[in-house]
C-alpha cells in the first residue's frame, strides 16, 4: 500500500529556513515523479515543486529561487528546502505521487510568523 509520510514542518520567523522530508513506501520510487503542494483554508491546493524520475524540477512562481526540491532514491525520500520564508508561505504542505491516481501524505504544517 502506498504511504507518504511528511516531516519537518514547524513555526519559523520570516527570512528563516525549513527543510521538509517525505518518506515514501509501496511505490516504485525511483521511477516516480514526486511533488510538494500546499494548501491554506478556503483555497485550492497549489503546486510548490515537482521532481521527475530523472530529477528534472519544476516550481510554482511564488517559490522560484527560494525553494529547492530534491530526491534520494536510495532512501525513497523527497525533500523540500525552503529558504527566505515569508508569511504567505504559511500552509499545510503535502507530499504527492501520481500513479494511476494521485496519492497524498497527511500533510505537515508550516507557519511563518514573527
Q: At a CB cut-off of 8 Å and minimum separation 6, what does 110 contact? A: 9, 10, 12, 18, 20, 38, 82, 85, 89, 90, 91, 92, 93
Look at the chain and count its residues.
Answer: 114
Name, in order, each residue with C-beta under 8 angstroms of 11's C-beta and a sequence gap of 6 or more.
111, 112, 113
What dihedral angle (degrees, nearest 10) is formed by the CA atoms of 85, 67, 95, 17? -40
Give me the pLDDT at residue 71, please.
98
Distance from C-alpha of 70 to C-alpha of 112, rounded to nearest angstrom: 22
What is the C-alpha separation between 22 and 27, in angstroms, rounded? 13
**Cα(82)–Cα(60) distance, rounded to whole angstroms?**
13
Per-residue pLDDT tens digits of the chain, which is 114 residues long: 999 999 999 999 999 999 999 999 999 999 999 999 999 999 999 999 999 999 999 999 999 999 999 999 999 999 999 999 999 999 999 999 999 899 999 999 999 999
Supply the pLDDT for residue 113: 97
Amino acid at each position: 500500500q502506498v504511504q507518504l509520510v511528511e516531516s519537518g514542518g514547524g513555526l519559523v520567523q520570516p527570512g528563516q529556513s525549513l527543510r521538509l522530508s517525505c518518506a515514501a513506501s509501496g511505490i516504485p520510487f525511483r521511477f516516480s515523479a514526486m511533488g510538494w503542494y500546499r494548501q491554506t483554508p478556503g483555497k485550492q491546493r497549489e503546486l510548490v515543486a515537482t521532481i521527475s524520475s530523472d530529477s528534472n524540477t519544476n516550481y510554482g512562481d511564488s517559490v522560484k529561487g527560494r525553494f529547492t526540491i530534491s530526491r534520494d532514491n536510495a532512501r525513497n525520500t523527497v525533500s523540500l528546502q525552503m529558504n527566505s520564508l515569508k508569511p504567505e508561505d504559511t500552509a499545510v504542505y503535502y507530499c504527492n505521487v501520481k500513479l494511476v491516481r494521485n496519492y497524498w501524505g497527511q500533510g505537515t504544517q508550516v507557519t511563518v510568523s514573527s
